[in-house]
Every structure is written in C-alpha cells, then in structure tokens.
Structure 1
Amino acid sequence: MSVVVLKAGGMTITIRNVVRRKSGVFHWRMRVPKGLRGNHGGKSHLDFSLKTKDSQEAAPRASKLTAEHEALWASLRSPEVVSGTYTPQQVRDAAKAQLIALGLQPGGGREGSDGWWTVLDSFEREHGHAFQEARHHDGDGAERRFLTPVNRETERLYRDGEAPKEVTLTDARATYFRLHKEGAEGRFQRDTNLPVDAFMALAGDRPLPSYTRDQANAYRDEMSARGNKSGTVRRRLRVLSAIFNMAKREHSLTMVNPFEGMIIARDGADATPRLPFTLGELRTLMAACRKADDDRRHILSIQLDTGARLSEIVGLRREDVFLSDAVPHIIIRDHRDLGRRVKTAVSNRRVPLVGEALWGATRAMAEAAKAQGHGEWLFPRYASDGEVKGNHASGALNKWMRTLPGVEGTTHSFRHAMRDRMREAGIPEDIRDAIDGHGTKSVGERYGSGHSLKLLRDHMVKVVISPDGTP
C-alpha cells in the first residue's frame, strides 16, 4: 500500500501506508499489530485523511504518522511492558494524567491544535538539554529517541482520544464469577483463583488478547515441573480456558484462546489406579470403625455400605437423615446457600441405609444430638455454614486407614468396591446408577419420580457384608 511520489529517469520514490480515495484526497492507512488493537478501540487498521490531493504534501505527513505509530507500538512492546512491570493500562493511565496536568484532553489534537506545542514543551522539560538540542538542532525527529512509552502514548491519546477499556485477566475472572452458576461460592472461587493467580504470577495481568500460546505452554510446563500429575494440570488448564472463552464471548473480543486444545505429554499415564477394597479389607475396616466408634469412623461406615463420595457424607445435615422412616435413608442434595454442593445434577439422590451405613448414621445422629453450638451439620468437625472441608476429611481418614494391617486403599476405594459388589450381585445398571449417583439419565429416566426407596433397599441388602466377610 504505497503511492509513487516522484519518477525521474530510472529512479522511483514511493511513500508507504498511503492510499488515494476516489475524491483524489490522500489518506494514511496502516495495519495495527494484532496484539495492540486494544490500544486503538479494537481497530484492525488506522485511517486518517492527509487533507491534500498533492502527493508532495501528503508524503511528509504520512511519514510522520508512520514513524509515530511505529514508535508507539515499539514502546508498548518494550521490556518493561512485556515483563509485566509496566502494563499497557498503566502506560495509558499515566499518559492521561500527563495530558490533564497540561490542561489538555484526550482527542484534543485531532484537528490540529496549539496544544501540540504544550505537549512537546513538556517532553523538553522532562528530558532536559539533550532532548532540546535534538529537537531544535538535530532535526529529522532525532528527539524521539528520548521518548518513554508514556510520552508516546500521550501523543497518541491527545491525537486519537481514548479507546475502550481493555479486558484484563482480572476483569475476565470477575466476569466468570459473576455469570457462572457457582461463581458466588467460596470453594469454586478458591479452585478458580489457584490457576489464575499462578498464571498471572508467570505472565502478568494483561489484556486478554495479548496472551500467547507460548505463555500458556510455559504455565503448563511449570505445573508439570512442580510435580503435579497430568490430571491436575489438565483441570487447571480447563479453568483458564473457560475464563478466556467466557470473556471472549461476553466482551465481544477478537482473539485466540491460548489455552484451547492444549496438549499434555503422557496425559493420564501418570494417574494412580484407584483399586476397590477387597472383602478382607472391608471386614478389617468394619471392625476397626465399630471399635473406635467416633465421628470419623461413622463417616467411613456410611461410605462403606452406600458407595457415596466422601464429600457427600461429610456434607450431610441432620435434616438429610431419616432413620425412623419405613426405609431408613439419607438424602444427598445441594445446600448451596450454606456452601454445600454436589458434583453433578444426578448426584442429588436418596440412598437407603443398610448394614454398616445404618449403624454409622444411627451413631452419628445420636452424637450430633448431644453436640452444642454446631448447628445442624451431621459432622461439624468438617462442615459448617459456608464451608464443607472434604479435603481435610480425606487427608485424616486416609492417614488412619493406612495404619490398619492389610488396608491399602483410600476413601474413594469404598465407591469402587460398592460398584463391584453391586455388579457381582447382578443388580441392574440403572439401579446401580440410582444408588451411587453415577452416569447420566436417559430421556426416559427423566420422567416420573425415579426408583422407590424400597426397591433400592431390596437390592442393596444383597451386598451387605456379614461379620465373617461374606456377602
């Protein structure tokens, strides 16, 4: 995109970034680097009339605009900007403050103004004698080598006016919390902040379009180097990808999500197999839990004969336990206003209490009735209004189980063991899913009130383990 200014013999002189409109007036037109379009209102190209039909007059005006914008864009890619110690938003804020201090307003120089002399004089005062000499004696714009990123942005801001506010990663996270169905919950915010804060520590808090795949890859590699398993790395990358996608959609950003479709070396190969407890291990656990007869062992006993997730049991409230009904049972459900949520929609369910689960729930309710000042939570050691500490419970219970001879699994092994026990007993898959809240409902299963508690109980008693360890 250039215009011929002069042809003489074999020599041709052209000027870059100039187009001639049908009216004959020359315009300066230049492509904005993709990562810097937020500084120009999202525009992919800048286009200014040079207000002349004379190519000889258009040439110096276009050259000046080209030089100014190349300098500005170079400043916004300078080491202090790229390193995150001096962000583009800080540059813009400082430039705006400089204009206001001079009694000028953004955009005030669009049509030509004596204010340009005020701007240049302020640069001269800032940079001193060397700038003054270069400006008045060296010529050819020599003084521009002294300009800081703030100085160059001051020029741009005075000429072009303010562009829309850039959406940073902090802004995107706030949007994510505001719009996500679980965004107000403390646990969800903690799980989200962990990868976001770690990535910002590595790459800075920047406008979203400025992040690159290299930075995303660097974060992935750092997580792996710290010993995180690939499953953990994958979960954290998914959080960041979801934040970028929501911000892209909600803020109408033109950008590529740097976390989309990321590859993790040996993804899943380092996962630790979750083996079910054997009948021998379950028998050992049954005896040890009954002997200890405290809140922690009550949790494990309920898990043993329901196959429920640990967090589902830890988060029970007294109002969720029905011991005097025709079929004693628990209700696993959300209490979102109290900080308790279940994993998926199908995790909300009623589960009959049989065997060790009935014993554990009965003892837990008796102990909860004696407790003072702990509200309605069944296991106040690990649950209170606003927080259910499933991870704390997991660490303590797994540590205790490792002290038992011949027991090698974790709390999640109860879930796998229950699934195997039901399968071996010939319990139909839809019943198994209804009991452990697993899988997804088919269209037909979404109608009606589901399986009756009696039907579920009649199947569950098939897998109750007798004291000698046999079903």
Structure 2
Amino acid sequence: MEWQMAGGRRGSYLYKRPGSQNWWIRFQYSGRLAEKLGKVVQISLETPDRAQAELEAIPYIYAHKGMLLLAKGADDGTLRVEKRAQQYEPGREHRTESGERVIATPDQLIFMDEAGNILRMEPNGPAYELSVPSSAQDQRELSALRPRKKNDPDVAILETWLEHENIRPAIEREARTVFDTFKKLTNGKSFANATREDGRSLAKHFFDSGNKSATVQKKIGHLRAAVNLAIDENKLKFNPFSGVVAAKDDAQDRPPLDDDDMKIMRDNLENLDPEERLLWMLCATTGMRRGEAWDIDCEFIEKGVRCIRIGTKTPQSDRRIPLPAAVIPYLPAKIEGPLFAGSPKNVGRELIRAMRRFGIADQRKVLHSLRHRAQDRLRAEGYPEDIRWAILGHEDKTVADGYGKGFPMLKLKPWIEKIGF
C-alpha cells in the first residue's frame, strides 16, 4: 500500500514491530504538524493479516492526507477560510457526512432516525469551511479514501437474511465480517450499484489473504445468499456475488488418520483435557465436523437408542444420528445443554497441538482428517450411498435434503458403530 502526497513522504505506511504479530501504521510529520502531533505517530491496526490491515488503515490515511493538504495550504498561503451564517441551509432536510437525517431551521438542527423520531437537537450556528487548491490526483486519492456513510440500506438486507435463515452465531459473525470487508473494499458501494467486478475484487481479497477456494466460496456465499433473498422479495434485481469465485484446484490433500495414528490417540486419551477428549471421541466415532459438536444441546430417545441432531446450520447437513457406544462414557447421563464451554476454534486448536505432542507430526493430519477416515471406514464396509449421507451429511446443496430424517435410528446404529475409533 503506497501513496504520494504533496508535503508527505513516499512509501509504505504499514510495518510490523519486532515481537508483534500485528500490523502498525506510521506517519511522519514536520513543521507545524510535528509541533502539534509529534514527528512520528504510530497506531496499531490490531490484525496480523496484511490485507485486513490495509483496509483498517484507510480512515487513518484519509485523515493524514487531509491534514497534509491543509498544512501545505497554510504554509504557502493558499488555505482559505470561509464563514457561513449557519451550518446547514434552513428550511430543508439534509444528510450529514455520516448519513444522518437533519432538519435545519434558522436556529436549530433537528437530528432524526429513519422513522422520523427525534434523536437530538443542536444549534444551527455559524460554520467555518476550510479549502485549499489541490491537484486532480490528490482529489482522486482523497475521494477513494473517504470513509463510507452510515445508515447503509444493505444492512437491512443482511439482517433480514440472518433472521430469515436463523443463522447461528459463528456464521453470523463471519457474515458480518465479510459484509464489512466488502463495504471497505468498495468505499461503501451499495448492493444495488455493485457489479460482478466488485464481487471478484472481494474474492481476490480473500484469496490474497491466503484462503483456499472452498473458504472463499463459503465467505462470499453469505452475501450471495442475502442478496438472493432480497431478489426473491423484489428488493434487488441483480446479484454481484454470483459466479465470482474462480475455480481452482487448490484443495489441500487431507490424508485420513491411519491405524497407527488412532492407536497413538487411544493411548493418550487420558492425557487430554475433558473437552478435548469429548471432541475427539465425537469426531472420531461419527465423522461429524468440528463445529457440529457445538450443535449438540439436547438428545432424544428412539427405540431405546440415544440420538442427537447436528449440522443444523444448513439444510443439506442437518441430520439426526445415533450416539455410538464408544462415546457414551464421555457424555452426561442426559444431554440437557451445550457440551462445551470453550469455543470450537480454541478447543480444536488445543486438540491439534496435543496430536503433535503425542507424535502425529504430519501437518496435513488435522481434526477434519477424522471425517475422511469415517468415509473410508464406511466405504470399506460397503455402505449404501444414502446411509453415508444420513450419517455424514451432504457437502453440496445440489443433492436433495431431508436425508437421515426418514431413517430409523436402529437402522443407522450398526453402520455408525462400524466407524469405530
């Protein structure tokens, strides 16, 4: 990220401090700005991701460039100060730079929300406007960096989708982060005005951040789904996030855990933290995804078989499965609430570290490798395809949902026991 502005220094503003993983931003000043701000101003951007740091840096750079232009105008005599009788022209409605509604009278400013409720009132007193001549390049750079306005109508589109699909908290947080990233990348462009080029730019940002195709597809899929819902409700006509993720053969080869690996973990089960041990047993004996263990907060009994429901975040993964016998000793007598206090990320990370300590050194072998192992075990037993979907869930929505819901648990129980651990 490099810029050049009259009166400023050319070069990258971003750097990392020794011993810190996060990116920082640094500005250097001279003359009157140095007297007020100091010769060097350093601010942590609180992220180790370079691409994200560049986005977080934008408002700081916008303010920095504006100060440089004003200081230059003050030094060379081109700075102009104009006084207006009122901050806003009386007798009409205005929008502030942050997007707020404001009604101006000769004496007062009445700030309102979108429903017309009065938020606050302020005097409509005199205002001072600073201006300085600037080059076309300076104006383009400042325009590109101008912070986006609030009261974005797309927020309502996102909120409607989150509520309509009953999105779980972890996915909601990811969707909001993707939304904010899109707005920063496009300087607040609305979904209605966005193009597929904007969608491709978002995909490129995630690829540049080191994400694989499947992860990029998942992230952008949140916005694509929200916009599709808005299209169904006649709020939008075009989806800028459809078909924007380039097809890449970049999926990492995840070998399944072999018999030696499983023996290592069996021998070290008691050396695991209770939550790590439970997560291992659930994933090892059922092939469920790590996050699906956090779906479990209750159980039901069918023909004497203890059963759970997992994969509720998407229709294609939503399923009911019987609990394997091997995992029962690690569960409460009856599941009546969440099984984990720690987050999926933290418990999963500690479990991976334990695997490495115990001697599973292959970095490609992770918790998800248990899912591959479960598929191999079922395949070796000659499972019917519909049994596989019922136990493991579909990966794609192209296959009809509803699998598993029609299978008696007594029919699935012998098959899930074949996975073992």
Give distance in 2, aligned partners of 1:231 and 1:187.
17
1:433 has 2:404 as partner: no
Q: Is the 8 A contact 1:168 1:206 kept in 2?
A: no
**Structure 1's 183 and 174: CA in aligned 2 closer, same or farther, altered over 3 A?**
farther
Q: Which residue of 1 aligns with 2:299?
A: 320
Distance in 2 between the 1:286 and 1:234 partners? 36
CA displacement at 1:448 relative to structure 2? 11
Instruction: List per-residue Cα deviations over 1:215-262 (Å, max 9, x = no partner).
Output: 4443333333232333332323333333344445545446x4433322
Show the 5 A alignment for 1:307-386.
Answer: 307-317=287-297, 319-320=298-299, 328-333=305-310, 341-344=312-315, 347-354=318-325, 356-357=326-327, 361-365=328-332, 376-377=336-337, 379-382=339-342
The correspondence of residues 448-463 of structure 1 with structure 2, limited to 5 A, is 450-463=406-419
Match of 1:174 among 127, 151, 156: 156
The answer to whether the 8 Å contact 2:321/2:412 transfers is: no
Residue in 2 that maps onto 1:398: 352
The correspondence of residues 38-49 of structure 1 with structure 2, limited to 5 A, is: none
Once the two structures are TM-superposed, the CA of residue 91 in structure 1 deviates from its matched residue by: 7.5
CA distance in 2 between counterparts of 1:438 and 1:390 reads 21
AA in 1 matched with 2:185: L
Evaluate the alpha carbon distance shift between residue 290 and residue 202 of structure 1 in structure 2; reply closer, same or farther with a 3 A threshold.
Answer: same
TM-score (ref. length: structure 2): 0.56
Cα distance, 1:345 vs. partner? 5.1
Question: For 1:403, what is the secondary structure of its paired residue?
Answer: helix
What amino acid is aligned across from residue 226 of structure 1 in structure 2? S
Distance 2:324 2:394 in 1: 18
CA distance, structure 2, for counterparts of residue 177 and residue 95 of structure 1: 21
- CA deviations 1:261-317 (Å, max 9, x no partner) are 2243xx333321222111221122122114547231122123212222222224323
Cα distance in 2, alignment partners of residues 310 and 92 from structure 1: 41
Bigger radius of gyration, 1 or 2?
Answer: 1
Task: Give the Cα separation in 2 of the matches to 1:441 and 1:262.
Answer: 19
* Shift, 1:194, TM fit: 0.8
Q: Does 1:193 align with 2:176?
A: yes
- Tell me the equivalent position of 1:132: none
- Alignment partners' CA distance in 2, 1:420 and 1:293: 28
**Given the superposition, is the C-alpha separation of residues 241 and 102 from structure 1 closer, same or farther in structure 2, using an over 3 Å criterion?**
farther
Distance 1:454 1:397, change over 3 A: same
TM superposition shift of 1:94: 9.5
- 8 A Cα contact 2:321 2:409, kept in partner: yes
Out of 398, 407, 413, the residue aligned to residue 369 of structure 2 is 413
Q: In the alignment, is the contact (CA less than 8 A) between 1:348 and 1:437 conserved in 2? A: yes
1:431–1:248: structure 2 CA closer, same or farther, 3 Å change rule?
Answer: closer
Letter of the 2:341 counterpart: R
* Aligned length in residues: 294
CA shift for structure 1 position 396:
2.1
CA distance in 1, matches of 2:416, 2:216: 37
CA distance in 2, matches of 1:236, 1:346: 17
**TM-score, structure 1 as length reference:** 0.51
**1:425–1:463: 8 Å Cα contact kept in structure 2?**
no
List aligned pairs for 1:33-432, cutoff 5 A.
90=96, 97=103, 101=106, 170-180=152-162, 181-183=164-166, 185-250=168-233, 252-253=235-236, 256-264=238-246, 267-292=247-272, 294-317=274-297, 319-320=298-299, 328-333=305-310, 341-344=312-315, 347-354=318-325, 356-357=326-327, 361-365=328-332, 376-377=336-337, 379-382=339-342, 389-406=343-360, 408=362, 409-432=365-388
CA contact (8 A) 1:216 1:258 kept: yes
Q: Name the amino acid aligned to 1:189.
A: E
- Distance in 1, Cα, partners of 2:358 & 2:329: 24
Distance 1:284 1:244, change over 3 A: same
Amino acid across the alignment from 2:332: M
Name the counterpart of 1:164.
none
CA distance in 2, matches of 1:206, 1:448: 43
Query: What letter is aligned with 1:174?
Result: A
Question: Is the Cα contact below 8 Å between 1:310 and 1:390 reproduced in 2?
Answer: yes
CA distance change for structure 1 residues 279 and 191 in 2, over 3 Å: closer, same or farther? same
Partners of 1:327 and 1:352 within 8 A in 2 = no
Aligned-residue offset at 1:421: 0.6
Alignment root-mean-square deviation, CA = 4.4
Q: Cα deviation per residue 1:342-395 (whole Å; 9 max; x = unaligned)? A: 4435532122413x33xxx323326x99xxxxxx4352323xxxxxx3233322
Taking a change above 3 Å as real, the CA distance of residues 169 and 414 of structure 1, as seen in their structure-2 partners, is: farther
Task: Considering fraction of residues, name the structure with more helix.
Answer: 1
Q: Which has the higher strand share?
A: 2
- Structure 1's 179 and 462: CA in aligned 2 closer, same or farther, altered over 3 A? closer
What runs of 5+ residues in structure 2 fail to find an aligned partner?
Answer: 1-61, 66-93, 109-128, 131-148
Ranges in structure 1 where 5+ consecutive residues have no aligned partner: 1-82, 104-125, 128-166, 335-340, 370-375, 383-388, 466-471
**One-letter amino acid of the counterpart of residue 332, structure 1:** R
Question: Residues 169, 239 of structure 1: CA spacing in aligned structure 2 closer, same or farther, 3 A cutoff?
Answer: farther
Question: What secondary structure does 1:308 align onto?
Answer: coil
Q: Distance in 1 between matches of 2:101 and 2:106?
A: 10
Q: Aligned partner of 1:420: which letter?
A: D
CA change 1:192–1:169 in 2 (3 A) is farther
Distance 1:400 1:203, change over 3 A: same
